[in-house]
Structure 1
Amino acid sequence: MTLPRDEALKALIPHVRDDDIVVAVYQTCFDWLVLNPRPLNYVSVGAMGQASSHGLGLALANPDRRVIVLDGDGSLLMNLGSLVTIANAGVTNLYHFLAANGVYEVNGAHPLPGAGRADFSSMASTAGYRGAHRYADLDQFTQALPQILDAAGPQFVMMEIHGGETYPRDYDYIHSSAARQSFRDALNRR
């Protein structure tokens, strides 16, 4: 059993506060932008592997806001060291969600090395995250969200997913200066 990615994201939406920063990458980013367009969506596409590091920087710079990272397993695989760095940075406001489907989805669905064997939630736990969770059932995931997001971070959630409904890949927007300016303006509004 796996979670449909879009349904998992829909379950998360009611728990995202107006002042939360959401860092999303690749197909999860495209889906998130359609499902929950908002000014504090930080689009880090083009920096494969860097969502967790960008999220950490934003969490350190904004300790009064929650930072929710919507990462992919292919992306995180390229930057596994960030798990240790995040766990040891002392941030309590970072919530790292990993959409794990075993492929580099937007790059042709090429299989990941270690797909099906690598347990990212165990890696996060061993690295020192305060909480590490793994879900393949939508109901269990949905029920756990309030407790996870109320706990001190860093928290890690591995979502074993399949695509679900596919949303348009708006490359023009994610690579635009307008996307960055919208985020910058929202971040500096306070």
Structure 2
Amino acid sequence: MPMIKTKKGSDMISAIEAVKAINDARSSEVVIDTMTANRYWKSVSNNQEMDSPIFGAMGKASSVSLDLALSQPNKKIVVLDGDGSLLMNLGSLITVAGVEPENFLHFVFKDGAYWTTGGQHIFGNGKFDLSAMASDAGYRSAHSLEDLETLVSELPTLMKQDGPIFVSIKVIDPKRAGEPFIGSTKNAMEKLSQSTVYIRRLTNA
């Protein structure tokens, strides 16, 4: 499957810039947000009725989103995943590619850290390519984006393409951006229960 690496500008993307760009390109798509994107999405989303945040369940956003894509084939499912999260469930790439859901768009925020558990560095960061893994697994196409200009220009096309599509977005490590750590593991069971409520609402919609 084709893998596309694109870099036009030199400025790195902040996570908040990335989620704003995705929201601006969104219309009626269902958005499943977790980890890094989860910190910002609610504050920028223009359609919260179609949002389903996944709290504290690292590695599960891709699998939950696949289930939703299969149960709601007429709705576009957009996943806002994290690199540390995906590393905890790499097998989901094989599963998604094998099922071939055309309504599946998988964004991964690549900041090189397990931010939700304290910002620990991902060992081996820089030695692996998640987009290449997705391409080898069999995603219809895989993209690696590193600047805001390219992200904004590519989003309208990505939103319309048949999936499964994989998009790695290189974003600034929140620690480098000077952001305070807010662990999503606090009140984890309560937040996981909230995630279940969101998923059930969308499944029954």
Structure 1 length-normalised TM = 0.88
Partner of 1:25: 34
> Match of 1:175, SS?
helix
Partner of 1:134: 144
> Match of 1:64, SS?
coil
1:45 partner letter: F
Partner of 1:99: 109
Question: In structure 2, what is the Cα distance between the partners aligned to 1:143 and 1:75?
Answer: 26
1:59 and 1:94 in contact (8 A); partners too: yes
Question: In structure 1, what is the Cα distance between the partners aligned to 2:153 and 2:70?
Answer: 28
1:167–1:62 CA distance, 2 compared to 1 (3 A): farther
Question: In structure 2, what is the Cα distance between the partners aligned to 1:177 and 1:85?
Answer: 25
Single out whichever of 40-49 and 71-80 deviates more from structure 2. 40-49
Single out whichever of 23-32 and 132-141 deviates more from structure 2. 23-32
Q: Indicate whether 1:82 and 2:92 are aligned.
A: yes
Return the offset for 1:133. 0.3
2:41 partner letter: W
2:57 and 2:192 in contact (8 A); partners too: no
1:157–1:178 CA distance, 2 compared to 1 (3 A): closer
1:177–1:110 CA distance, 2 compared to 1 (3 A): closer
Q: Percent identity?
A: 35
Q: Indicate whether 1:13 and 2:23 are aligned.
A: yes
Q: Indicate whether 1:175 and 2:191 are aligned.
A: yes
Return the offset for 1:88. 0.8
1:6 and 1:165 in contact (8 A); partners too: no
2:34 partner letter: V
Partner of 2:59: 49
1:81 partner letter: G
- For structure 2, list consecutive stretches of 5 or more residues without a partner in the other structure: 1-10
Return the offset for 1:135. 0.7
Question: Pick from 175, 184, 187: which aligns with 2:200?
Answer: 184
> Match of 1:116, SS?
coil
1:129–1:184 CA distance, 2 compared to 1 (3 A): same
Single out whichever of 135-144 and 44-53 deviates more from structure 2. 44-53
Question: In structure 2, what is the Cα distance between the partners aligned to 1:88 and 1:184?
Answer: 25
2:55 and 2:192 in contact (8 A); partners too: no
- Cα RMSD between the aligned structures? 2.3
Return the offset for 1:17. 2.1
Q: Indicate whether 1:114 and 2:124 are aligned.
A: yes
Return the offset for 1:64. 0.3
2:48 partner letter: R
